[in-house]
Amino acid sequence: MISRVMKVVMKLCSLVAFVALLNGCKPIFESDLYGQWFERGTKLVEGDYTPVDHWAGQWRVVNIWAQWCKPCWQEMPELNQFYALQGANDIKLLGYNFDQLPQEELTQLKTDMNIQFPVLLSWPEIWQLPDIKGLPATLIISPDNVLVKVLWGPQTLSSLHGEIDTAKQMEKQLKK
C-alpha cells in the first residue's frame, strides 16, 4: 500500500518538474498553465488574474477601445476620473481592447493612452460580448452578468453616472 502511494507521489513530482521545465523554470503558480488548469479566472493586462466570481454582485462598466480610434483616446481622461471616483463602490470600470492585441503591446498601449483602470486581456466567458458596430463602445453589465446596455461613442463622467443610475432603477422595478 505504501509503495503504491509513493509511486503516485513520485509521478506527481515528476509531472510538476516537467511542467516547470516547460515554463522556463518559473514557479507553476506564475505560469499561464496554472491559470488554465486551476481556473484562476480572467487575466488582466498587468498579468494578474481575477477569480471567476471576482465581480459577482457588482455593476460593471466595460469600455471597449482601440489604438486607432481617436474618440477612444479622447474619452480616457473621463474614464480615468470615473474610475478614481468609484473606490469601494459597487461599480467597477474595466477596459477591453477591440483588436485583442498581445499582452506586451497592450501593456505599452495602456501606458501610452494613460489608462488608469484595469484592462482585460481576454473576455470573460460568463459575460455576453455583443456585436461591436463602432468604437468606443461602453457596456453596462448588471451584478447578475446581464448586458443591460451598450453605449456608443465617447462617454463622459455625467453620461456614465446617468446611464448606470437608469439601469439600477430599471433593475429595481423588475425585481418588484
Residues spanned by the domain of 27: 2-38
Q: Is 52 within a domain?
A: no
What is the band of 29 on the pLDDT scale with cuts at 50, 70, 90?
Answer: very low
Asked if residue 110 and residue 140 are part of one domain, the reply reads yes
Residues 73 and 111 in one domain: yes
The confidence score (pLDDT) of residue 19 equals 53
Predicted confidence at residue 2, as pLDDT, reads: 67
Residues 6+ apart with CB under 8 A from 106: 45, 97, 119, 121
Distances (CA, A) of 108 to 50, 103, 113, 127: 21, 9, 9, 26
- Provide the pLDDT for residue 10: 67
Per-residue pLDDT at 28: 47
Residue 97: exposed, middle, or buried by beta-carbon count in 10 A (0-12, 13-18, 19+)? Answer: buried
75 and 155: one domain?
yes
Domain-located, residue 47: no
Q: Would you say residue 46 lies in a domain?
A: no
**Mean pLDDT, range 31-43, rounded to an integer:** 58
**Do 28 and 114 reside in the same domain of the chain?**
no
If asked whether residues 34 and 65 sit together in one domain, one would say no
Q: Are residues 95 and 126 in the same domain?
A: yes
pLDDT of 9 higher than 90: no
Q: Quick one: 63 and 136 in the same domain?
A: yes
> In CATH, what number is assigned to the domain containing residue 114?
3.40.30.10
**Residue at 45 is within a domain:** no
Residue 72 sits in the same domain as residue 108: yes
pLDDT at 34 over 60: no
Residues 91 and 164 in one domain: yes
Q: Average the pLDDT over 168-176 and give the result.
A: 86
Can you give the pLDDT at residue 35? 46
Q: Is 51 part of any domain?
A: no
Q: Using one digit for the tens of pLDDT, what is the confidence trace for 47-87?
A: 888 876 777 789 999 999 999 999 999 999 999 999 999 98
78 and 140 assigned to the same domain: yes
Output the average pLDDT for the chain: 84
Residue 89 lies in a domain: yes
pLDDT digits (tens, 9 = 90+) for 143-153: 988 899 999 99
- For the chain, what is the domain count? 2
87 and 133 both lie in a single domain:
yes
Residues 136 and 91 in one domain: yes
Does residue 44 contact residue 36 with C-beta atoms inside 8 Å? no
Residue 31 scores a pLDDT above 80: no
The answer to whether the CB of 170 falls within 8 A of the CB of 148 is yes
Tens of pLDDT along 93-134?
999 999 999 999 999 999 999 999 999 999 988 888 899 999
User: What pLDDT does residue 149 have?
Assistant: 94
